[in-house]
Amino acid sequence: MKWLKQPVILEYKDIAKCLVVANPANTNCLILSKYATKIPKENFTCLMRLDHNRAMAQLAAKANVDITKVKNPVIWGNHSTTQYPDVNYATIDGKPAKEVINDEKYLHGEFMETIQKRGAAIIAARKASSAVSAAKATRDHMRNWYLGTKEGEWVSMGVITKGNSYGIDEDLCFSFPCTCKDFTYTIVDGLKWDEFSKAKIEATQKELQDERKDALGTLN
């Protein structure tokens, strides 16, 4: 065994990874990144995996397949009712989800609304939040971030924008499709938006911009 001649000292700022779960998770994550200035911006994420998992579950139920057969939905934007659950690139048992579930009215209506409002619906029904589902989503998020995603698959993560991804405004915490390797995420590039998608993504971006303005105005 070769011993290092000099000790390697890693400061917390080099290795700390932050996952924000408490709502409003996206803007809380953004504010944390602004005050924990020694930690790189790319080390901050917020939990969108709960919405991602819910999207997979709804598609699986509609198609009457096991959830493991569903791959690559995307949750764009904010963890709120403006989020955009996108199935344009999702697959079910290897086939395009939009072909398996040939029902645009459902995919643009009931499916989206179920994902967007699922948290509120659970609270209304149980008088409590979906703590176990959130805990599982947190585990899933950290597991993929640390151990990586499978080849050809992505997950939804809220990350700090730098103004070079899909034209989204710089300095937001916005959910994108991401792949992970070596405890590093990479935003999936090159996905195309139709007019419906553009309108939904613009709306969720606007909400995050407004939240940022309100939060920074309160803190300044």
128-179 pLDDT, tens digit each: 456 788 999 999 999 999 999 999 999 999 999 998 799 999 999 999 999 9
Q: How far apart are CA 192 and CA 214, in angstroms?
A: 31
Tell me what the mean pLDDT of segment 114-129 comes to: 61
Note the pTM of the prediction, 2 decimals.
0.89
How far apart are alpha carbons 209 and 215 in whole angstroms?
10
pLDDT of residue 132: 86
Number of other residues whose CB lies within 10 A of the CB of residue 14:
11
Q: What pLDDT does 150 receive?
A: 97
Helix/strand/coil (H, E, C) string of 182-207?
A: CCEEEECCCCCCCHHHHHHHHHHHHH
Please give the residue that has the higher pLDDT: either 107 or 13.
Answer: 107
The class of domain 17-211 in CATH terms is alpha beta
What is the arithmetic mean of pLDDT over 15-42? 94
Which pLDDT band holds residue 3 (cuts at 50, 70, 90)?
very low
Helix then strand count (H, E) for the chain reads 8, 10
pLDDT tops 60 at residue 21: yes
Closest by CA to 60, choosing from 138, 114, 116, is 114
Is residue 119 very low, low, confident or very high in pLDDT (cuts 50, 70, 90)? Answer: low
Cβ atoms of 96 and 72 closer than 8 Å: no
Residue range 66-83, pLDDT digits in tens: 999 999 999 999 999 999
Catalytic residue of the set 52, 79, 108, 141: 79
Q: For a pLDDT cut of 90, what percent of the chain falls above it? A: 81
Identify the pLDDT of residue 2: 41
User: For residue 8, is pLDDT > 50?
Assistant: no
The residue count for the chain: 220
Once rounded to an integer, what is the mean pLDDT over residues 193-215?
97
Q: How much is the pLDDT for 62?
A: 98
Mean pLDDT of the chain: 90
Examine the residue annotation and report whether 108 is marked as an active-site residue of this protein: no
